[in-house]
Chain A
Amino acid sequence: MKTIAELEAIRQRTLEQVGMRKEKDDVVRVVVGMATCGIAAGARPVMLAFLEELQKRGISHVQVSQTGCIGMCRLEPMVDVMLPGKDKVTYVRMSPEKVSRVVAEHIVNGRPVEEYTVTFAEKQGQ
């Protein structure tokens, strides 16, 4: 069984690595729409896929958080990605499969995945 003592060991290890952390203004923000519409459309697997992908790649300067319904329920699950000093990019109809591409191309390499964005979806008249 998992024990609280293991968390104390994690604390020790993490505090030793703390000097390696990036500065606060380097933080990338990922915001997942998590209202009833988002949840029903599959926001939770998308959110968990982000956590898994970031952990797999050892990326620690990304903060994943949530927001409510912004009124485009038909395009859920929606995810905002904010790189420091860049405009916010809104991805629509996200899926766990799309997450690894967003992490690799946008968060790691700084190039948004155009065809997943709300701008692209609206141009297509979807």
Chain B
Amino acid sequence: MRDLSLHILDLAQNSVRAGASLVEISLLADPDADRLTVTLRDDGCGMPPDLLARVTSPFTTTRTTRGIGLGIPLFQENAELAGGGVRIVSEVGRGTTVTGDFGLRHVDRPPLGDIAGTVITLVVTTPLTPDYVLCLATGERRYTFDTREMRAALVTVGLDAPEVVAWMRESLREGIAEALPGLAAEVDVTRL
């Protein structure tokens, strides 16, 4: 995974498969503490303690086709390389919260990537459920994207309608520039 937005897309799939009705994603930048915290919280089926204890191993998966799952191990590796780490809290029937800490200015901290593309991909491929909330913040500068508010305004029109996708693209672009100005302006050297 080359950037944070791809990790988020990947980890959110776990929440979708856990039957979540709400997936909350937040990226909080704290320049004073030199910290960037990425959190995914869902209200899906959760994990029993024995699975939770094994979940950072690449040889753990709930998939039945073969015994390998790389999403969480890759996220953990990138967080640790960037002077941080991953914490997972989970309770059966309540949901799971995955938190990744990264050194904001650490040279190995993955770039932000295309957060708007991740959110649009999630919403369009799962337009009925779950709902998604995205919170971005640097100090007082904040942006919130909430599909529950969108649904209330759209009533019977789907979140995957082309005009709605165009609205999301623009709203996310503005929101990312407002709430994560430093990260949004970074040049991703891996793509040059």
Which chain A residues have a beta carbon within 8 Å of chain B's beta carbons?
Answer: 1-2, 4-8, 10-11, 13-15, 32, 34-36, 39-40, 44-45, 47-48, 51, 54-55, 60, 63-66, 68-71
Instruction: Say whether chain B's binding surface is mostly helix, strand, loop, or mixed.
Output: helix
Kindly count the residue-residue contacts between A and B in the assembled complex, taking CB atoms under 8 Å apart.
93
Please, which residues of chain B bring their CB within 8 A of the CB of A39?
1, 6, 9-10
Return the contact of B125 from the options A2, A5, A54, A65 (Cβ within 8 A): A65
Q: Across the interface, do A48 and B117 meet the contact criterion of CB distance under 8 Å?
A: yes
Q: Across the interface, do A51 and B71 meet the contact criterion of CB distance under 8 Å?
A: no
Q: Across the interface, do A10 and B171 meet the contact criterion of CB distance under 8 Å?
A: no
CB distance from A55 to the nearest CB of B (A): 4
Q: Please give me the residue from chain A that is nearest to B161 by CB atom.
A: A14
Q: Does B80 contact A (CB under 8 A)?
A: no
> If A14-B157, A34-B13, A68-B63 touch, does A4 touch B117 (CB 8 Å cutoff)?
no
Which chain B residues have a beta carbon within 8 Å of chain A's beta carbons?
Answer: 1, 6, 9-10, 13, 17, 63, 65-66, 69-71, 74, 114, 117-118, 120-121, 124-126, 149-150, 153-157, 160-167, 170-171, 174
Q: Across the interface, do A66 and B126 meet the contact criterion of CB distance under 8 Å?
A: yes
Return the contact of A69 from the options B63, B118, B156 (Cβ within 8 A): B63
Determine the distance from Cα of A51 to Cα of B46 in the docked complex, in whole angstroms. 32
Determine the distance from Cα of A44 to Cα of B155 in the docked complex, in whole angstroms. 28
Q: Across the interface, do B156 and A15 meet the contact criterion of CB distance under 8 Å?
A: yes
**Contacts A10-B164, A69-B65 known; 20 new A-B pairs at CB < 8 A:** A1-B174, A2-B170, A4-B149, A4-B150, A8-B153, A14-B161, A36-B70, A36-B71, A36-B74, A40-B1, A44-B118, A48-B117, A48-B121, A51-B162, A54-B162, A64-B125, A66-B121, A66-B126, A68-B17, A71-B66
